[in-house]
Structure 1
Amino acid sequence: MKRIFRLVVASGMLLSGSCNNYYDIDKDPITYGQTYFKPVINTDKAVYKPGEKITFTAAISDNNLSVAYTYLGEMIKEEPLSQLSWTWTPPTTDFRGYMVYLFKTGDTTKKPLYSIAVDISSDWRKFPRYGFVSNYDRLDQQAIQRNVETLNRFHINGIQFYDWQMDQHKPLAGSVSSPADSWLDLIGRTNYKSTVDGYIQAAHDKGMKAMFYNLLYGALSNAASDGVSEQWYLFKDNQHQEKDRHPLNAPFRSNIYLVDPGNSAWQTYINKRHQDVFAVYNFDGYHIDQLGDRGKLYDYTGKEVKLEQRYGSFIAASKKAFPGKYHVMNAVNQYGQESGIASSAVDFLYAEVWDPNKSYDELVKIIQDNDRFGNYNKNTVLAAYMNYAKSNQAGFVNEPGVLLTNAVIFANGGAHLEMGEHYLTNEYFANNNLQLKGTTKEKLIQYYDFMVAYQNVLRDGGTAAVFSVTGTNALTISNGKARSGSITSYGRHFANRDVIHLINFKDANTMEWRDTNGTQQEPSRIDGLQIKLDVTRTVKRVWLASPDMQGGVAIPLTKAQTGNKLTIDLPGLKYWDMVVIEY
């Protein structure tokens, strides 16, 4: 939340309540607008425990279909469908992703028609896929259910409840014995308990976790009357004359004043406030936010405070107070990540990305740094706001920019916080100026299916590697570095396989991942692609999967190996191909 609230209140879309025209439908006769998309296949949950039965539904009239269940390109089972709602109990192995697809019965090629991924994981922290909600107006259950169903189709397994609370220092409105039915949030919106409760229950019904959001050190102007001591604050001077504050103009109700998160009295105070939250709301954990590097700061006694070194004790105190709750903390532009957050009790790593981390390479570096900071035991979610400048006004998200950035993040083992009631393009999560076209929703779903189906080779161990990949037909391949006008390769090495990702920057007009003005170009598909690389063992099998091809279903590839030289023929490259070499 570093830049916090570059508000665009002039737009009628920004702070609206539930959308009355959800399907972008005009008058009779009904016509579906540009934002409409209805997935063909759905599952009843976002994630399943080992041994749990999965229920699928397909919105299609064809009654001559079969279903195939696959794991990393290998067929597990196939069977004809007698109806368009069916169940499957997958193998009991924990932490696996599967690709499930439909094909025409009798088609010997088993050409995929529709596909969906399934995540079998007993613990969401292994493969976090974070989403959000940000509007707590008086929503009916149908609106809540619709939003959560959308997140379910993206396999979101954890939801951040952004700005759900009343005051930062006193998040619960009312009391434990008499919680308020409604309250004003920081910007003056009316939030409703029924909506917060409704979202929590709907999330739990889909197997998702619900995380309440709050700063770790925020106090509003009324904090003294709520028991916040003057001696807990952070100051810009060593004479405790000027409190550090984050200035907020109207319609915000108050500036945010910063207290020392390492102060034990503050920790006791805010943990009691959070205890009240957990007593009233069935949240699963705490999403901890910060404001980034604040410069030189002092405590009340005049002692200089190294803010990033105070985060670890705050997290430890919160985890001690709530050992059964999940904890995630935002490292704003990595501030505090290495010095205390990553090694603390947080359950996965989360970073909000700002300048000067502009390039695709810098996104990769953040993910790889986090792997190291977390001792290779914690995966990363990036809050990386796309089309940031464009989000000042109403419009549509630029599809090529989003798909290229997701390809880079996913190929390197990260996840992207972007899906909520709307697509996220701003640090003020309620900003919904930019919408997803239906065609973009469809492609994004394919990318999330891909991330889930192949999570065991994307973000489940292995070692990042740079392979020396060359291309034919005068194609330039840049290994490990994203370069305009070329194909970029990223690699991961496992004991019995190597994974090579190819991302198409051949037509890219910017190498800044944010695509802030929404002008990134769609890449032209490259056909007849052949790659060569050195290997040290005999290759048993090579296969390809791409979110841009055959619904992400694996495709066997032809190969030729002469000694240590391996040549592979690919069917084509649009945005992102993943090539898996098995030994």
Structure 2
Amino acid sequence: MMAAACGSSGNDEPNKPNPTPGEDNKVTDVATVKSNLSVGLSTDRACYAPGERVEFTASELPGRAKIRYRHGSSIVKEEPMTSLKWYWTPSNTDFKGYMVEIWAPGDKDNEEVILGTIAVDVSSDWTKYPRYGFVATFDDSKLADGVIENEMAFLNRCHINGVQFQDWHYKHHWPMPGTRDNVLESYTDIANRTLSAEAVKKYISVQHSLGMKSIFYNLCFGVLDDAKADGVKDEWYLFKNPNRGDKDMHTLPSNWKSNIYLVDPANEEWQAYLGERNDEVYANFDFDGYQIDQLGNRGDLYDYNGNKVNLPKGYASFIGAMKQKHPAKRLIMNAVSSYGASQIAGSGKVDFCYNELWNDEANFDDLHTVIKANDSYSGNSLRTVFAAYMNYDKADKTTGEFNTPGILMADAVMMALGGSHLELGDHMLSREYFPASPLSMSEELRDAIVHYYDFMTAYQNLLRDTSTETEFKAEMKCTDASKRVNINAWPPKENGLTTYAKNVDGKKVVHLLNFRNIDNLSWRDLNGERPAPRLTLNTPLELTHSGKVTRVWTASPDYHGGAVVELPFTQSGDKLTFTLPSLKYWSMIVVE
């Protein structure tokens, strides 16, 4: 079996229009694009190794339909659509995203109708473009026919390439249910839920069949109240004063198995102990790595000998020990409210940056600040995943549905900035306790989310290849004063449009984010009350740009399923003018 990875070879060279010679550069002869997204599409895996064949399935076979494979705006291959199932082998080039468009000629000359879209990721390593999901319920009900397969089919459709197993374990200090040689088929977790080892194993098996990686969750320093009987030493604990008078602990409900007491993550004996416990896990469950958790800033803490501990430094030590014990396994560690982020990313042993955000990082601009800091800490080598819980207060008070505008606005900003959002699993995430599911996805949100994840995957080379080092302030304005459209460069302002721009591989990529009709710049949408931004149509824009332009195009997860739409343009001196057909939440404009 080919190694799970996140592959007719084709020509990836762009087919560029020739600009009209003369003083002004003008391109007007481009197709008119419409959409009727009636064809549902799926692939057999979430991501593919270079050279691996992609299997597509369509919900229907429309007349005169064609299949077009694009990398960016470049058409790699085009062929008639003749079957509900077909295959395509992309080029052997690693780390590339593709958008596959099903289209048909329109009723007018030079008109195309987009009928369906889906992304393809060709990547040998999933951590280059992490799209992280989760699972959090592992009881016997998950073993019923098709339950796990259906859950993972939706994650596969969203190209989720790594899955975190939250609260799957027996005890924090003894994650293995049972022993290396005697696995408990039924056991309880920290909340005294009854879990099935077979369900955990089935999740892993199904995920691996789809090209996903399976990552187990645990704290780096948690032990339960019976830890001494399992070999945990008194000398490993953390205390709130230098006299061993008060063990630090995380209090949990009284009907749960235990409170969680904290030990020193830098203690070498503890590291060896937990490393051996993890070895038992890997021997019985085919996990691909360890999602390490912490609890944020705990204030001043002391070890058994009365020495003040440096937790962030301890995190780096712990990460190093876990990597040394299992060098082939992947490691991710949570930076709660960015606590310890520098030491975690600077360890050189984690595979991407993972930030759990709270109220001290609640604004849209904080998302950019976190990514920029992570770029700095990692030498621009690690991408960022946000654990960011949406509609939090609404989820605390009631059941119902997530607020679609709140979710899409947050995802639009995170993805435009080059990050991704941990939110999809066996339900959509609203709480730090992952098994909780008070809110559900409406069909509208579920359909929209698919387009957003297609978009993030198909255009990953433009969104996530480069760091914040390549960003610039785009000078853009609306040339029709009657539209009353205010445009500002990042950071966002209320009731206007905001640009976030990068130079990527010789292209100028400008993300236009719609904050019109929005007077709250917190991504959290705590009560689920954010309104949808005002739809902005046929907006004439002027962008300051030096150098000859050959092509201007746009794509949006909110428009034509993320398909490429080429734009007529005029270039005069350093002024580039074109009309953006639609802006709902987010549109990407690319100048080549």
User: What is the TM-score normalised by the length of structure 2?
Assistant: 0.90
Q: Which amino acid aligns with 1:408?
A: V
Secondary structure of 1:254's counterpart equals coil
> What is the aligned counterpart of 2:456 among 442, 451, 455?
451
What residue in structure 1 maps to residue 369 of structure 2? 365
What residue in structure 1 maps to residue 419 of structure 2? 414
CA distance in 2, matches of 1:143, 1:349: 31
What residue in structure 1 maps to residue 381 of structure 2? 377
Q: Deviations over 1:81-113 (max 9, x none)?
A: 221011111111110000001122687533211
Instruction: State whether residues 312 and 344 of structure 1, in contact with CA within 8 Å, keep that contact through their aligned partners in structure 2.
Output: no
Aligned pair 1:201/2:208, yes or no?
A: no
CA distance in 2, matches of 1:432, 1:64: 44
Matches within 5 A, 1:115-194: 115-138=117-140, 139-140=142-143, 141-194=145-198
Secondary structure of 2:199's counterpart equals helix
Shift of 1:454: 0.3
What residue in structure 2 maps to residue 492 of structure 1? 502
CA distance in 2, matches of 1:341, 1:184: 33
What residue in structure 2 maps to residue 404 of structure 1? 409
Shift of 1:467: 1.5
> What is the aligned counterpart of 2:473 among 460, 466, 485?
466
Shift of 1:38: 11
Instruction: State whether residues 320 and 347 of structure 2, in contact with CA within 8 Å, keep that contact through their aligned partners in structure 1.
Output: no
Shift of 1:58: 0.7
Q: Which amino acid aligns with 1:439?
A: E
More divergent stretch after superposition (306-315 vs 565-574): 565-574
Matches within 5 A, 1:384-399: 384-392=388-396, 393-399=398-404
> What is the aligned counterpart of 1:554 among 564, 569, 590?
564
What residue in structure 2 maps to residue 440 of structure 1? 445
Q: Deviations over 1:15-62 (max 9, x none)?
A: xxxxxxxxxxxxxxxxxxxxxx99811000000011100000011253
CA distance in 1, matches of 2:348, 2:355: 15
* CA 48–495 in structure 1, closer or farther in 2 if over 3 Å, else same: closer
Instruction: State whether residues 311 and 341 of structure 1, in contact with CA within 8 Å, keep that contact through their aligned partners in structure 2.
Output: no
Secondary structure of 1:45's counterpart equals coil
What residue in structure 1 maps to residue 51 of structure 2? 51
CA distance in 1, matches of 2:495, 2:485: 9
Shift of 1:271: 0.2
More divergent stretch after superposition (421-430 vs 465-474): 465-474
Q: Which amino acid aligns with 1:81?
A: M
What residue in structure 2 maps to residue 85 of structure 1? 85
CA distance in 2, matches of 1:65, 1:536: 39
Shift of 1:564: 1.4
What residue in structure 1 maps to residue 282 of structure 2? 278
CA distance in 2, matches of 1:105, 1:84: 19
Aligned pair 1:581/2:591, yes or no?
A: yes
Q: Deviations over 1:206-235 (max 9, x none)?
A: 000000000000000000000000000000
Instruction: State whether residues 214 and 286 of structure 1, in contact with CA within 8 Å, keep that contact through their aligned partners in structure 2.
Output: yes
CA distance in 2, matches of 1:535, 1:101: 30
Instruction: State whether residues 163 and 213 of structure 2, in contact with CA within 8 Å, keep that contact through their aligned partners in structure 1.
Output: yes
What residue in structure 2 maps to residue 72 of structure 1? 72
Aligned pair 1:95/2:105, yes or no?
A: no
Matches within 5 A, 1:16-31: none
CA distance in 2, matches of 1:441, 1:57: 19
Instruction: State whether residues 61 and 81 of structure 2, in contact with CA within 8 Å, keep that contact through their aligned partners in structure 1.
Output: no
CA distance in 2, matches of 1:495, 1:104: 31
> What is the aligned counterpart of 2:582 among 572, 578, 581?
572
Instruction: State whether residues 509 and 521 of structure 1, in contact with CA within 8 Å, keep that contact through their aligned partners in structure 2.
Output: no
Instruction: State whether residues 134 and 421 of structure 1, in contact with CA within 8 Å, keep that contact through their aligned partners in structure 2.
Output: yes
What residue in structure 1 maps to residue 538 of structure 2? 528
> What is the aligned counterpart of 2:327 among 323, 329, 333?
323
Secondary structure of 1:197's counterpart equals helix
* CA 566–104 in structure 1, closer or farther in 2 if over 3 Å, else same: closer
Secondary structure of 2:86's counterpart equals strand
More divergent stretch after superposition (171-180 vs 334-343): 334-343
Aligned pair 1:230/2:239, yes or no?
A: no
What residue in structure 2 maps to residue 28 of structure 1? none
Q: Deviations over 1:148-168 (max 9, x none)?
A: 111001100000000000000
Secondary structure of 2:127's counterpart equals coil
CA distance in 1, matches of 2:456, 2:61: 28
Secondary structure of 1:265's counterpart equals helix
Matches within 5 A, 1:281-296: 281-296=285-300
Measured on the aligned residues, the alpha-carbon RMSD in Å equals 1.5
What residue in structure 1 maps to residue 26 of structure 2? none
* CA 340–155 in structure 1, closer or farther in 2 if over 3 Å, else same: closer
Secondary structure of 1:356's counterpart equals helix
What residue in structure 2 maps to residue 506 of structure 1? 516
User: What is the TM-score normalised by the length of structure 1?
Assistant: 0.92
CA distance in 2, matches of 1:251, 1:436: 30
Which residues of structure 1 form unaligned runs of 5+?
1-36
CA distance in 2, matches of 1:346, 1:429: 22
Q: Which amino acid aligns with 1:403?
A: L
Secondary structure of 2:183's counterpart equals coil
Shift of 1:253: 1.0
* CA 87–402 in structure 1, closer or farther in 2 if over 3 Å, else same: same
CA distance in 2, matches of 1:259, 1:407: 39
* CA 274–502 in structure 1, closer or farther in 2 if over 3 Å, else same: same
Instruction: State whether residues 39 and 442 of structure 1, in contact with CA within 8 Å, keep that contact through their aligned partners in structure 2.
Output: no
Secondary structure of 1:567's counterpart equals strand
CA distance in 1, matches of 2:189, 2:569: 60
CA distance in 2, matches of 1:461, 1:132: 26
Instruction: State whether residues 414 and 420 of structure 2, in contact with CA within 8 Å, keep that contact through their aligned partners in structure 1.
Output: yes
- Identity of aligned pairs, percent? 43
